[in-house]
Amino acid sequence: MSDPIVMISSYPPRLCGIGTFCEEAREFIQKKHPEREVLVISHTDGRGDGVFPILDLTRTGWWRPVAEKVRELRPHSIHIQHEYGLYEFVDGRGQGDGNAGFLSLLDALSDWPIVVEPHTVHGRMRDSEADFVYELCQRAHVVLFKCHYQKWRLDWTFPGRGWKTPRNVLVVPHGARPDRHWGPDEIPGLRHELGLDRVRHLGSHLVGLIGWIQSNKRWDILTSMWEDIATELRDCTGEDWDLLAAGTMRDPAHRKDYERWKSEVEVLEQKGLAHYYEFVPRGEVYYKTMAVCDFIVLPSTDETQSGTLARIIALNKPFLTTAPMEGLTAQALESQGGLLFTTKDMLRSKLIRLASNEDLRLELGDNLRRYLDTVVSWDVVAGQYDEAYALAREAVRSGRPVELPPEF
């Protein structure tokens, strides 16, 4: 067996979007590389074959055993999923280290090919974010951004501070599964499997609010309007449209909003206009719950990239989402598979337009299918990861830093 690819990340069963992302990415990297193992160094709550749960953030030097394990594994390349909270050591006074331990880890691994994939790169960075991204690009051989705007914004952010723009940034989009498709004739079977056929008032047309229930995923934007919208849809289309709100809470800090929004959906359910379906948004059921919907509404007030949107794209489901909202807006524009709203009136009018126009739904779905096949399929993304690994390995071999062209 050839040298392994070693990923460092949170990992299931932790309820973490980055962990779920790593699980899917690992599956498709492994599919592309049957000749070598794809191993994961995770936090202490990670589990599974080829997973080493040794990343212990209760220790100030958590990065040392991680570095030792990497050296022991002698990797072909190191592929790190980064989110600030995943590597922040907090001391007894409640003071965080600003990801200093993470940068120490990169220093300790500098003799090996390092690819880092940060999941939060805002277009307009705070000072601390700009400083961290600069230091990250100095230490990693290749840094993967999800969206093109994140890269070209650096040409404004860094020179404005008198810093040189890093040239080792490669844009690789958030991957989406290419193998989750159900035809119209299969939808009744999925509704039965999910138990939705036992909800007597639930009509054949569903608008979906699907995913983790978090304070930034503003379900109340739509639930507060749904009764009036449902009435207008019945008048416009001659058919009943119901709201399927499905998911659960992930972070206890969001419990107040979770309980309030869930109760709002339950009030609508009592009126025969909606249904609340509680499930953990992971695995096959996540896709099946989306698949039974005609289209998805993804309201958000703080998002750079979205695993929910990746699943929407995987299913070729037309969508409506908030704008301007960084990665959500970028992918809506690039895919031409979704409609954007900035006000409640826009959401209402575009939702009614989408529900009333089956041809538009088919057009947006076809656009998403092409975008999936050519741009964001995990099969395509795994090939781009290979490019990043090759660049990082050459940088280690030659001693020359990676130099990639700017976006503009």
Under 8 Å CB-to-CB from 394, ≥6 apart: which residues? 400, 402
pLDDT at residue 302, as a whole number = 83
Contact 288, 316 (CB under 8 A): no
Confidence label for 122 from pLDDT (cuts 50, 70 and 90): very high
Structure tokens at 281: 């948004």
- Residue 388: closest CA among 160, 89, 65, 76: 76
Instruction: CATH number of the domain at 119, please.
Output: 3.40.50.2000
Q: Determine, yes or no, domain membership for 406.
A: no
pLDDT digits (tens, 9 = 90+) for 158-200: 999 999 999 999 999 999 999 998 999 999 999 999 999 999 9
Q: Determine, yes or no, domain membership for 113.
A: yes
pLDDT of residue 399 exceeding 70: yes
Do 48 and 123 have their domain in common? yes
pLDDT at residue 305, as a whole number = 62
Do 262 and 142 have their domain in common? no
8-state DSSP, 90: B
- Residue 230: closest CA among 257, 210, 203: 203
Q: Determine, yes or no, domain membership for 358.
A: yes
Q: What percent of the chain has pLDDT over 90?
A: 94
Amino acid at 39: L
Do 26 and 151 have their domain in common? yes
pLDDT digits (tens, 9 = 90+) for 263-307: 999 999 999 999 999 999 989 999 999 999 999 999 998 876 678
Q: What percent of the chain has pLDDT over 70?
A: 100
Range of the domain at 363: 184-376
CA dihedral (69, 71, 74, 77) in degrees, to 10, reads 90
Q: What are phi and psi of 20, to 5 degrees?
A: -65, -40
Q: How many domains is the chain built from?
A: 2
Do 124 and 261 have their domain in common? no
pLDDT at residue 1, as a whole number = 72
Do 57 and 152 have their domain in common? yes
Do 270 and 244 have their domain in common? yes
Do 210 and 353 have their domain in common? yes
Amino acid at 402: V
Do 24 and 161 have their domain in common? yes
pLDDT digits (tens, 9 = 90+) for 45-87: 999 999 999 999 999 999 999 999 999 999 999 999 999 999 9
Q: Determine, yes or no, domain membership for 408.
A: no
Q: CA-to-CA distance for 175 and 172, rounded, in angstroms? A: 8
pLDDT of residue 381 exceeding 70: yes
- Residue 166: closest CA among 405, 326, 396: 405
Do 103 and 218 have their domain in common? no
Do 257 and 362 have their domain in common? yes
Contact 397, 389 (CB under 8 A): no
Q: Determine, yes or no, domain membership for 286.
A: yes
pLDDT of residue 117 exceeding 70: yes
Q: Determine, yes or no, domain membership for 10.
A: yes
pLDDT at residue 306, as a whole number = 79
Do 370 and 221 have their domain in common? yes
Q: Determine, yes or no, domain membership for 288.
A: yes
Look over the chain and give the mean of its residue pLDDT values, rounded to a whole number: 96
pLDDT of residue 139 exceeding 70: yes
